[in-house]
Amino acid sequence: MRLVALASLLLAVAVSALGNSQQGFNSELSFDEYTEQSLLWAPYRPNCYFGIRPRNVDQSPFMLGIMWFDNSDASGLSRIRHFVEQGDKLQKYGWEVYDPRVGGREVIIDEANNLNLTIYFTKSHNGENWAVRVHGEPLDPERGSAASVVVYFNQNGQDGQSRLKKIVGDDSGKMLFHGVSKELGEYQLTVRDNFGSYYSDPGLPTMEIVPGCDSSKTAHLSMTVPDENVWMARDVFLSILSDSVKQIVEEKGAEAVNPSLFPSTFTIRNLYDFPAGNFHYLQKSFDNSSPEGFEFDIIYNALDTKERITSIGDVANLISGTINHVETKFAELFALEPKGEQYHSFALETLSNLLGGIGYFHGTQLVDRVTIFDDEQFEEVKLQHATEEGPLSLFTSVPSRAFFPRGFYWDEGFHLLQIMEYDFDLAFVICSSWFDLIEADSGWIAREVILGDEARSKVPEEFRVQNPNIANPPTLLLAFSEMLDRAIKNQESSALEFPGPVDDEITAQKQTSQLENNPDLLLKYAERIYPKLLKHYNWFKTSQKGLIEEYEEILEDEGILEKVHQEEAYTWRGRTINHCLPSGMDDYPRPQPPDVAELNVDALAWVGIMTRSMRRIAHVLSLKDDEAEYQKIENNIIENLDLLHWSEEHRCYCDITIDSLGDGRAFVCHEGYISLLPFALKLVPLDSPKLKHILSLMSDPEGIFSEYGLLSLSRRDEYFGTAENYWRGPVWLNINYLCLDALTYYFPAVVSGAAEGLSPEESQAKQLFVSLKESLVNNVFKNWEERGYCYESYDQYTGKGKGIEHFTGWTALVVNIMGNK
């Protein structure tokens, strides 16, 4: 069920929160109406450096993308930019200021193409219309390059009603298009130059090397591209252009290699006399020797709207308002430590790039429902019986636009913990989109949601197929229960009343936290989704259930069989000898060799937090019997963590298996994140004597404490830094964030100013909290300052960012760590 389907449920509780007068949304809009208007348009194609599509428009969406290259160089085509690729080795790319509800500013520094590109996206006050401003400047005006920017757009829809045609075009670069979408209605698209000179050589009588190839003019090609292939715009462009260049060389000979005519040679034309269609290329080749650069606007106006964007001034004013809105709102919501302009820029840019990774995906997914895992086979997981299912839709943020531009189940919960601090309602909309994917019969959600060919094109083939037996840590319920907690606290405080007309920014915050401040809306959704969540909960427990019966004689010999809750023991299905991808911590050391009797402490802990989340949901829905049942299960899990997985010898939580002789329980202890997870998820009782051992584990400079954050694996472990070294030492922000949060839960004094009168454990916890927070912030900031990006993880020896760069998924939690009000 899409969020829009909630309208009938929520009519009676339409919110009277004031609208954001700066952005112009109607102050009387209900939650659904405001959501649909403010989140309809955005750059929802995060795999592209810049790509637009509408949200919740699936049959006839308008699609747009931007590409660029230097066409003054014969090798320029090898440097064409379209999809975000680490191999492009750009000096910088990403959003400096961004909010999907209003827009922002993206900056791209491309040294190989000698281009400093700034792309602005902004919307009309009602959210129906939008504008893109493309501003480019040469990095070095003396290089004599050309900046060839290619804009492509398509009106999808094979219904016979959807169309997009050029109606006006002139030599000034202005073009006007008329479009019709079955879902969006009629609209007008205007592309207009603001300033800049097209590439030409004054020493030549003409730049037109053959008809249609003239770099001194905007080139336009209209054709038909099947909807499912629009994402291949770069490949289609290169194919047509390569054929054109080949023909020019054959026809013109030496003249074709005149460097002054290269930009014309590398200009697209209608080589094959394609009839006009709904797909359009516009290619603008600017002379990149002027320090002032160039600029042009792309403006979309729905024809039935009252508020149109018509002039250069309109676009400029909207951009100014957009940037001011985001910067002011951010400053109001986050009280950053340390302070300073650079830290502020770092935090705002990091959050903006998390928000800039939000995408809307629609299409089929590949599912293998045939393969059943052999509990005796751990060599390799092969999913060879894939079928296409769907189509489905998903509104989600992504871990990294360059490498992971798709939905990841366990990442998304961490993303939402950050997003809800800036825009509570946006986090809810994303969370509900994920819950819509819960299968009605089985309760399954795929661990990676890869919808359609565009998304699949960025995924190695071996990871494209999903299987209903493979799970991932259920962080989405962690985030959703946090949302409910916050909303209910507001309700119980009885202190919330909407004021009269006040400051624009306070108003803006109310408009994006309607659910937090009006729990009735959130509770109605929770009531509607509860049956699905229950199925999901039961699917998780059933699919990952461990074989505790293998331990019956052993536990009886140990005298604890009667104490152990045999129904609460879990293992990760789908692990192999070297990897446990379902756990999220792929290469973290596990029992060797794998065995059918293996029980994983983190699997049990995640079921514990899932149960706690379900208990909280049942509580707010007044489902007393369900709440009591969840409380019982939660208590049993907490007891089992100690009974089954706590090793007195190692003084930490461990996986277990049956020893090689088959007559005893073997603790497989690898001090690190797995050992900490029961603490990080707040499943250790507040009065537990084990807390002091966990504190010691986290504080040990010879173990997992480092000047860069908590290491994923202890330095003393035999696997530390070995093989792939993915989760075997490097610092990861998501688990560090959970540990910091848990420290404030178990030891509230860590965030108080008092330093006297603390117990030894409180003093140790306070020292750990302060030093850990400082280490994490300083190191992530240092990498950003020196290299321009956040990273997937950070090296255990040097603190240098490693893995995927521009990883502003859960690494963006550093902004929460720096402080929110």
Which domain CATH number covers 280? Answer: 2.70.98.110
What pLDDT does residue 67 have? 98
Kindly report which listed range (16-25, 317-326, 499-508, 561-570) carries the lowest average pLDDT score: 16-25
Domain that holds residue 84: 39-333
- In angstroms, the CA 811 to CA 790 distance is 7
Q: Does 12 score more than 60 pLDDT?
A: no
What pLDDT does residue 3 have? 31
Phi and psi dihedrals of 401, rounded to 5?
A: -65, -30
Average pLDDT estimate for 420-445: 96
**Burial (CB count <10 Å: 0-12, 13-18, 19+), residue 647:** middle
What pLDDT does residue 29 have? 74
Share of the chain above pLDDT 70, in %: 93
Which of the listed residues 308, 333, 358 is the one where a domain comes to its end? Answer: 333
Kindly report which listed range (401-415, 482-496, 653-667) carries the lowest average pLDDT score: 482-496
What tens digit of pLDDT does each residue of 31-62 get?
A: 888 999 999 999 999 999 999 999 999 999 99
Question: In the structure, what pLDDT confidence band is assigned to residue 171 with cuts at 50, 70 and 90?
Answer: low
Average pLDDT estimate for 178-207: 95
3 state DSSP class of 106: strand
Find the catalytic residue in 70, 448, 792, 805: 792
648 within a domain of the structure (yes/no): yes
139 within a domain of the structure (yes/no): yes
The helix (run of H) or strand (run of E) holding residue 406 is: none
Q: Does 439 score more than 60 pLDDT?
A: yes
DSSP 754-785: --SS--HHHHHHHHHHHHHHHHHHHHHHHHHH
Average pLDDT estimate for 585-592: 96
Average pLDDT estimate for 388-414: 96
Phi and psi dihedrals of 186, rounded to 5?
A: -85, 145
- Is 693:722 a contact under the CB 8 Å cutoff? no
Q: 596: which DSSP letter?
A: T
Residue 777 CB neighbours (<10 A)? 22
Question: In the structure, what pLDDT confidence band is assigned to residue 349 with cuts at 50, 70 and 90?
Answer: very high
What pLDDT does residue 1 have? 29
Q: How many domains does the chain have?
A: 2
For residue 91, give Cα distances in angstroms to 94, 115, 238, 598, 737. 11, 11, 24, 46, 29
504 within a domain of the structure (yes/no): no
- In angstroms, the CA 52 to CA 153 distance is 9
- In angstroms, the CA 433 to CA 654 distance is 35
Q: Does 669 score more than 60 pLDDT?
A: yes
Average pLDDT estimate for 346-365: 98
Residue 203 CB neighbours (<10 A)? 6
pTM: 0.93
Q: Does 523 score more than 50 pLDDT?
A: yes
What pLDDT does residue 494 have? 43
Residue 158: name the closest of 38, 278, 287, 3 by CA: 278
Question: In the structure, what pLDDT confidence band is assigned to residue 7 with cuts at 50, 70 and 90?
Answer: very low
Q: Does 398 score more than 80 pLDDT?
A: yes
Q: Does 17 score more than 50 pLDDT?
A: no
3 state DSSP class of 780: helix
What tens digit of pLDDT does each residue of 205-233 get?
A: 999 999 999 999 999 999 999 999 999 99
Q: Show the tokens assigned to 89.
A: 């080795």
What tens digit of pLDDT does each residue of 442-499 get?
A: 999 999 999 999 999 999 998 999 999 999 999 999 999 888 888 777 766 644 343 3
CA geometry: angle 110, 114, 117, nearest 5 deg: 55
- In angstroms, the CA 643 to CA 566 distance is 11
Question: Angle, nearest 10°, between helix axes 733-746 and 760-787?
Answer: 150
519 within a domain of the structure (yes/no): no
DSSP 6-60: GHHHHGGG---PPP-TTTT--TT--HHHHHHHHTSEEB--TTBSSEEEETT--SS
What pLDDT does residue 690 have? 97
Q: Does 740 score more than 70 pLDDT?
A: yes
C-alpha 245 chain-centroid distance = 39
Strands (E), 251-401: 279-287, 294-302, 359-368, 386-396
CA-based radius of gyration for the chain: 28
Which of the listed residues 650, 669, 688 is the one where a domain comes to its end? Answer: 669
Q: Verify cis geometry, omega within 30 degrees of 0, for the bond prior to 531.
A: no
Residue 508: name the closest of 22, 41, 16 by CA: 22
Q: Does 15 score more than 90 pLDDT?
A: no
Mean pLDDT, the chain, as a whole number? 91
Q: Does 4 score more than 70 pLDDT?
A: no
For residue 295, give Cα distances in angstroms to 107, 468, 488, 588, 645. 14, 50, 49, 50, 62
- In angstroms, the CA 398 to CA 27 distance is 31
Residue 95 CB neighbours (<10 A)? 27
What tens digit of pLDDT does each residue of 300-320 get?
A: 999 998 899 999 999 999 999
Q: 275: which DSSP letter?
A: P
Which of the listed residues 612, 635, 669 is the one where a domain comes to its end? Answer: 669
Residue 251 falls in the annotated catalytic set: no
Residue 792 falls in the annotated catalytic set: yes
In the chain the first and final C-alpha atoms are separated, in Å, by 34
463 within a domain of the structure (yes/no): no
Phi and psi dihedrals of 418, rounded to 5?
A: -80, -50
Query: Which of the two residues, 662 and 393, has the higher pLDDT score?
Result: 393
Share of the chain above pLDDT 90, in %: 81
- In angstroms, the CA 476 to CA 62 distance is 31
557 within a domain of the structure (yes/no): yes
CA geometry: angle 762, 767, 771, nearest 5 deg: 150
- Is 106:50 a contact under the CB 8 Å cutoff? yes
Question: In the structure, what pLDDT confidence band is assigned to residue 163 with cuts at 50, 70 and 90?
Answer: very high
- In angstroms, the CA 527 to CA 751 distance is 36
- Strands 359-368 and 465-466 turn out to be parallel
Residue 527: name the closest of 626, 653, 617, 405 by CA: 617
Residues 6+ apart with CB under 8 A from 314: 131
755 within a domain of the structure (yes/no): no
Strands (E), 70-217: 92-99, 103-110, 115-123, 130-138, 146-155, 163-169, 175-181, 185-195, 208-210, 213-214
Average pLDDT estimate for 603-614: 96
What pLDDT does residue 748 have? 93
449 within a domain of the structure (yes/no): no
- In angstroms, the CA 432 to CA 809 distance is 19
State which amino acid sits at residue 738.
L
For residue 661, give Cα distances in angstroms to 473, 591, 664, 666, 813. 32, 15, 7, 10, 45
What tens digit of pLDDT does each residue of 758-806 get?
A: 899 999 999 999 999 999 999 999 999 999 999 999 999 999 999 999 9
What pLDDT does residue 172 have? 67
In DSSP terms, which residues pair with 449 in a beta bridge?
Answer: 407
Q: Does 234 score more than 90 pLDDT?
A: yes
Find the catalytic residue in 183, 201, 485, 586: 586
Residues 474-510: b if buried by 16+ CB within 10 A, e if exposed: bbbbbbbbbbbebbbebbeeeeeeeeeeeebbebbbb
- Is 303:188 a contact under the CB 8 Å cutoff? yes
3 state DSSP class of 203: coil
Q: Does 517 score more than 90 pLDDT?
A: no
What pLDDT does residue 9 have? 25
CA geometry: angle 428, 430, 436, nearest 5 deg: 100
3 state DSSP class of 302: strand
What pLDDT does residue 377 have? 64
Q: 562: which DSSP letter?
A: T
Q: 274: which DSSP letter?
A: P
